Structure 1
Amino acid sequence: MYSANPDRYNGMQYRRAGKSGLKLPALSFGLWHNFGELDPYAKSKSIVFKAFDLGITHFDLANNYGPPSGAAETNFGKILKEELGRYRDELIISTKAGWPMWPGPYGDLGSKKYLVASLDQSLKRMGLDYVDIFYHHRPDPDTPMEETMATLDLLVRQGKALYVGISSYSAEETRKAAKLLKELGTPCLIHQPKYSMLDRWVENGLLDAVEYTGMGCITFSSLAQGLLTNKYLKGIPEGSRAARPLGNGAMEAEQITPENIAKVKQLDDLAKERGQSLAQMAYAWVLKDPRITSVIVGASQPEQVEDAVGCLKHLQFTAAELQRIEDILAS
């Protein structure tokens, strides 16, 4: 029977999510990959345990994580039932809905019909009465935002979620969503966008919108799906995301260009000078912004979680280091 590390809270930093009462670990754990039916269950469980032992209290899921869709929630629910569930009140568990989940017009996007059904299914798969955070996973161009936000408010009032958030909304959409939820009496807790040194769209207004509305911000793909590691410095290894068929989070091999690899090698040199792995520096670079509450970490081995948490030992950058990063990225 698993027994959590008694010192798990000593090495982790916890940051308040915007103007809420909730604190999240600086590093959260995402189950987007490596928790489906194709992955060894024992290894998946060992990764989750390692994350919690290191003070990671937030586990981030979505209805479509797998493969197949739903499998990550099912496996996480099994872990909870078997051993982790006795720590439920120490955990922040989040899930999302917004991408295709089942056939027909009611299994995608942002209607009340879809969101209510999806969360009910997620709770059943995980064996939970409620999730701590429920996200709308992406904007819906067809459903009025008023309906989507009213549904998030309803799910909180029904006790199926403690907090709600949004993901991948633009700055303008974020401000509107926050306004609607505030009027309903359920504040928008947090925004989850993609953000890394190689994908900086959030700097064009979204982070300002998050700060203005009082939300937290938790980022995904902050390693650019593995590109900001030493994995691809010598080509595309077998079994890597870039070697997988497109879909299910696979990385396009076209991203592994000589130009990008040259930048990554220079960034790797800087990371070594800082006494960090490239992944650690990439996480630290995102976390340097005080508007960032947490960064989602993915892993296929327990050791990768430990490496990620090591970034907390060196989060500061000198002005010269930041300028060097800008020069590398602009080259």
Structure 2
Amino acid sequence: MVYAAADNRYDVMPYRRVADSGLILPALSFGLWRNLGDQKPLANSREVMLKAFDNGIFSFDNASNYGPSDGSAEETFGAVFEKDLKPYRNELVITTKAGYHMWPGPLGEFSGKKTLTAALDMSLQRMHLDYVDIFYAHRWDPNTNLRETAEALDLIVRQGKALYVGVSNYTTEQVAEIGQIFDELHTPFIGNQMSYNMFNREAETTDMLAELDKHHAGLIAYGPLAEGLLTDRYLDGFPADMPLHRTNAFIKEDPEGTVAKLNALNAVAADRGQTLAQLAMAWLLRDKRVPSIVIGASSVDHLLDNVKVADNMTLSAEELAKIDAILNNK
């Protein structure tokens, strides 16, 4: 059956400009980090991705190392793009990253010129693309001089393989350093993709948002639900064998206190007619310097629950104060 996108797809999800650039993103972007790749049958991945686009999610986020095997998530995206989404290429924002382990040997990771250029060429091949809209250096490289990384990203834009570049998981100091080089080179630097959520507010406490603003860039937030923590899954407590992401290590220090916070936040959400997850996403999107947050979904129902955040994205000053009081134990 030939896919035809929903006619009302731009009526569902708000979209936002990245700083004062020409790039516009949906409030929610679709990430292929987990749940897709070769973990799920292609038919399931296709159904979820197309439903996302039908609901105004026109940004798809990938990386060279995503999927159970390196590149498998990009291959999944490429299969759906080639069969269904190719006629809509001008509407899509497709992003990928390179820097974590991608292939054997010392050149298969980090941000040297050869590594970044080879990784992007492989990504373009897997996704059946001529270019990506944003190409990110996926992590800080402690060994390669920063100018080489910046100049490699700049070259990729000049070669027409990416329209914009960004960084991911950089600290505020690292963004300031590479941002200065990008300013000098006139590279279209669009932002930092990093973990940001109610329980991880490093973006605020380190002045990341202000630093990005200086460079006409934005913060694209991943992990908006703190790796599943900000859902109704743990309102009754945490299982003893719960796997913890590095950003959730704080749970070990005060599990009972964290559960109490989750229940208090859930009560705020209920008063708004939302789930805790929807409240967590609305809270992130309160700041225009966060143009988009990257979500994942393993099923259409899961996806549509996230999309419902668009029904109520405005938080009152009273609600924001209540959330801050909960998070800060006041």
After TM superposition, the score normalised by the length of structure 1 is: 0.93
| Aligned residue number for residue 264 of structure 2 | 266
| Aligned residue number for residue 224 of structure 1 | 226
Residue identity over aligned pairs, in percent, reads 47
Q: Distance in 2 between matches of 1:195 and 1:312?
A: 19
1:18 aligns with 2:19: yes
Aligned partners of 2:221 and 2:294 also within 8 Å = yes
Give the 3-state SS of the residue equivalent to 1:79 in structure 2: helix
| Aligned residue number for residue 54 of structure 1 | 55
Q: Distance in 2 between matches of 1:255 and 1:109?
A: 33
| Aligned residue number for residue 294 of structure 2 | 296
Q: How far does residue 139 in structure 1 lie from its aligned partner after superposition?
A: 0.9
Give the 3-state SS of the residue equivalent to 2:30 in structure 1: strand
2:215 aligned partner, one-letter code: T
Aligned partners of 1:190 and 1:215 also within 8 Å = yes
Give the 3-state SS of the residue equivalent to 1:231 in structure 2: helix
Aligned partners of 1:98 and 1:137 also within 8 Å = yes
| Aligned residue number for residue 279 of structure 2 | 281
1:120 aligns with 2:118: no
Q: How far does residue 19 in structure 1 lie from its aligned partner after superposition?
A: 2.0
Q: Distance in 1 between matches of 2:122 and 2:309?
A: 36
Q: Distance in 2 between matches of 1:230 and 1:36?
A: 26
| Aligned residue number for residue 306 of structure 1 | 304
Q: How does 1:199-218 map to 2 (within 5 A)?
A: 199-203=200-204, 204-218=206-220
Q: How far does residue 258 in structure 1 lie from its aligned partner after superposition?
A: 2.6
Aligned partners of 2:32 and 2:60 also within 8 Å = yes
Q: How far does residue 161 in structure 1 lie from its aligned partner after superposition?
A: 0.7
Q: Distance in 1 between matches of 2:44 and 2:119?
A: 27
| Aligned residue number for residue 80 of structure 2 | 79
Q: Distance in 2 between matches of 1:76 and 1:254?
A: 37
Runs (4+) of structure 1 moved beyond 3 Å? Answer: 234-237, 242-256
* Pair 295,101 (structure 1): closer, same or farther in 2 beyond 3 Å: same
1:222 aligned partner, one-letter code: P
Q: How far does residue 321 in structure 1 lie from its aligned partner after superposition?
A: 1.4
Please identify, of 289-298 and 243-252, the stretch whose mean Cα deviation from structure 2 is larger. 243-252
Q: How does 1:128-139 map to 2 (within 5 A)?
A: 128-139=129-140
Q: Distance in 1 between matches of 2:270 and 2:324?
A: 17
Q: Distance in 2 between matches of 1:55 and 1:255?
A: 40
Q: How far does residue 183 in structure 1 lie from its aligned partner after superposition?
A: 1.5
Structure 2 residue runs of 5 or longer lacking an equivalent are none
2:39 aligned partner, one-letter code: L
| Aligned residue number for residue 233 of structure 1 | 235
Q: How does 1:316-331 map to 2 (within 5 A)?
A: 316-331=314-329
Aligned partners of 1:18 and 1:190 also within 8 Å = no
Give the 3-state SS of the residue equivalent to 1:37 in structure 2: helix
1:315 aligns with 2:317: no
Q: How far does residue 313 in structure 1 lie from its aligned partner after superposition?
A: 2.0
RMSD: 2.2
Aligned partners of 2:238 and 2:255 also within 8 Å = no
Q: Distance in 2 between matches of 1:249 and 1:310?
A: 26
Q: What does the per-residue CA deviation read over 1:145-181, in whole Å, with 9 as the maximum and x for residues that have no partner? A: 1000100011111111111111111112112212211
* Pair 150,250 (structure 1): closer, same or farther in 2 beyond 3 Å: same
Q: Distance in 1 between matches of 2:7 and 2:148?
A: 44
Aligned partners of 1:232 and 1:256 also within 8 Å = no
Q: How far does residue 17 in structure 1 lie from its aligned partner after superposition?
A: 0.8
Q: Distance in 1 between matches of 2:242 and 2:88?
A: 35
After TM superposition, the score normalised by the length of structure 2 is: 0.93
Q: How far does residue 325 in structure 1 lie from its aligned partner after superposition?
A: 1.1
Aligned partners of 1:225 and 1:251 also within 8 Å = no
For these two proteins, the number of residue pairs brought into alignment is 327
1:18 aligned partner, one-letter code: A
Q: How far does residue 185 in structure 1 lie from its aligned partner after superposition?
A: 2.2
Q: What does the per-residue CA deviation read over 1:250-289, in whole Å, with 9 as the maximum and x for residues that have no partner? A: 9998599232222111111110001111111000000001
* Pair 128,255 (structure 1): closer, same or farther in 2 beyond 3 Å: farther
1:201 aligned partner, one-letter code: E
Give the 3-state SS of the residue equivalent to 1:196 in structure 2: coil
1:308 aligned partner, one-letter code: N
Structure 1 residue runs of 5 or longer lacking an equivalent are none
* Pair 169,20 (structure 1): closer, same or farther in 2 beyond 3 Å: same
Give the 3-state SS of the residue equivalent to 1:9 in structure 2: helix
* Pair 44,266 (structure 1): closer, same or farther in 2 beyond 3 Å: same
| Aligned residue number for residue 167 of structure 2 | 166
